[in-house]
Amino acid sequence: MGQVAQQHDRLKERLAQIGSVFAVMSGKGGVGKSTVTACLADGLARLGVRTGVLDADLNGPCMARLMGVKDHKPSPQNGAMIPARNAYSVPVMSMDMFLPEDETPLVWEASSQQGAYTWRSMVEMSALRELLSDTDWGDLDVLLIDLPPGAERLQNLADLLPDLTGAIVVSTASQTAMTVVSRSILMALNVADVKIAGVVENMSTMICSECGCNEQMFIGAETVEELAERHGVPYLGAIPFNITLADYLETGRSYIEEHAGHPAAHAILNVAQRVHFSLKSQSK
């Protein structure tokens, strides 16, 4: 109990240096949520917002790779872990920086792996609390927490962080994804009591590498913008699918800065500007 209380006190100290904390969630895997998190970090940094990224997907971490810091090994300093900083100075903390190899699975210590699975949710939250409280984030305007898929993940985070600023929801226009995302929005609003900062539509169109024209990726009865309107939450914009985007993000360099004229870079910056506007509105 004493150790948990100490972690709780350290967590309060860390969060006191951070202006806003947003969970980036989807409820559905495969919508590119982690890529959107990396893009948002790039966009907000370009706008002068001091931004950090925490990978809360402990069993399937990927933010270190997407932020271009996968070879960084966190080091202790003055009783805290120093996060990696990518080429545009965004601090990143992710479990994959602690694993010896890229493909090494995360195995929880327990008397049996069946026992570890039974208590996994509790163990994961304890590990996440430790990552948050032991990381020296410094002064940040916003911390983006990339959640694993699953509607219940936001509830777990809200229990850990009662002052969570809000959630940014990522969806594609696939009707299957939108159904699951809709459930996640209702869970956030009605069960977790977390404000939805907005919905980001990912892979809205595909940009042809030959002619540059846009083609719709998904066609259905309802659009992502209409879904957001139906739930009374902001629509933050759409990011087109770009075949080179994820590979470029892994270099850690700013896609927006180096591809300023590309439609994808323009779209990412537009979404980041809307999030930035939300941050400024809260500070008034």
Domain map (residue ranges) of the chain:
2-283
Please, is 149 exposed, middle or buried when counting C-beta atoms within 10 Å of its C-beta (0-12, 13-18, 19+)? middle
Side-chain-side CA neighbours of 101 within 13 Å: the count stands at 3
Q: Please tell me the pTM assigned to this model.
A: 0.91
pLDDT of residue 70: 87
Q: What is the topology classification, in CATH, of domain 2-283?
A: Rossmann fold (3.40.50)
pLDDT of residue 261: 82
pLDDT of residue 135: 93
pLDDT of residue 141: 96
Beta strands 51-55; 91-93: pairing state: parallel
pLDDT of residue 27: 81
pLDDT of residue 71: 87
For residue range 207-235, what is the model confidence (pLDDT) as tens digits? Answer: 776 776 777 777 777 899 999 999 999 99
pLDDT of residue 107: 62
> Which stretches in the chain have pLDDT values below 50?
none
pLDDT of residue 252: 78
pLDDT of residue 2: 60
Is there a contact between 148 and 60 (Cβ–Cβ < 8 Å)?
yes
Amino acid letter, 264: A
Instruction: Give the count of beta carbons closer than 10 Å to the beta carbon of residue 19.
Output: 16
